[in-house]
Amino acid sequence: MVDRTGIEGVFDFTLTWTPDTIADRSPDANGPSIFTAIQEQLGLKLVSAKGPVEILIIDHVERPSEN
């Protein structure tokens, strides 16, 4: 995720949603999705976009020798 809100600081909030993995089996499956909850409860919108990302490539691994 890339934060493009421009909002600075540390925040503590509670978000309520129905996870997709239990939505079909839960009696409380009428709750919002994570995307709807973020928009309705926090006033933020998740937008899918492509952009640069950092990657780490490990090309060799060895066990450490015993001392």
Instruction: Give 16's Cβ-side CA count (13 Å radius).
Output: 4
In which domain, by residue range, is 4 found?
Answer: 1-67
pLDDT at 22: 60
Could you report the per-residue pLDDT of 42-54, keeping only the tens digit for each?
999 999 999 888 8
pLDDT at 30: 76
Indicate the number of domains in the chain: 1
pTM, two decimals, is 0.58
Selected residue with higher pLDDT from 25 and 59: 59
Distance between CA atoms of residues 19 and 26, nearest Å: 10
Could you report the per-residue pLDDT of 11-34, keeping only the tens digit for each?
899 999 998 776 455 555 678 999
